[in-house]
Amino acid sequence: MYKEELRNKIKKLGVDLCGFGSVERMNSAPEGFKPRDVLPESKTVISFAIAFPAGTLKSTSPHPYTRIRNSISDKLNGISLDVCLLLEKEGFLAVPIPVIEDVFDEKTGRYRSIISIKHAAQAAGVGTIGRNSLLITPEYGSLVWLGAVLTDYDIETDPLLEDLCTNCDLCVKACPVNALEKEELDQKKCRDCCFGEAGGIWAIKCHACRDVCPKLLGEKRNQKLSGITL
- Give the footprint of ligand B12 on this chain (CB under 6 A): 26, 28-30, 33, 69, 97-100, 102, 110-113, 116-119, 132-135, 142, 144-146, 184-185, 187, 190-191, 194, 204, 207, 209-210
Instruction: Determine phi and psi for 203, rounding to 5 degrees.
Output: -150, 155
Main-chain dihedrals φ then ψ at residue 144, nearest 5 degrees: -130, 155
Buried (b) or exposed (e) across 32-44, using 16+ Cβ within 10 A?
Answer: ebbbeeebeebbb
In the complex with ligand B12, the residue whose CB is nearer, 90 or 166, is 166
* CA-closest candidate to residue 97, choices 23, 28, 51, 47: 47
Report the distance separating Cα 210 and Cα 113, nearest Å: 20
| Residue 228: CB minimum distance to ligand B12, A | 19
In the complex, residue closest to ligand SF4 by CB: 130
Taking CA 113 as the corner, what is the angle to CA 7 and CA 203, rounded to the nearest 5 degrees? 100
**How far is CA 79 from each of CA 25, 83, 115, 205, rounded to the nearest angstrom?**
24, 6, 17, 27
The β-bridge partners of 20 are 46
Q: What's the CA gap between 161 and 216, in Å, rounded?
A: 17
Shortest distance, position 195 Cβ to ligand SF4, whole Å: 10
Binding at 193: pick from ligand B12, ligand SF4, none (beta carbon under 5-8 Å per type): ligand SF4
Q: Which does 68 bind (CB under 5 to 8 A by kind): ligand B12, ligand SF4, none?
A: none
127 contacts ligand SF4 (rule: CB under 6 A): no
Total residues contacting ligand SF4 by CB under 6 A comes to: 26
Pick the binder of ligand SF4 from 29, 209, 218, 221 (CB under 6 A): 209
The residue among 76 and 87 lying less far from ligand B12, judged by its C-beta, is 76
| Minimal distance, residue 185 CB to ligand SF4, in Å | 6
Residue 130 interface partner, choices ligand SF4, ligand B12, none, CB cut-off 5-8 Å depending on type: ligand SF4
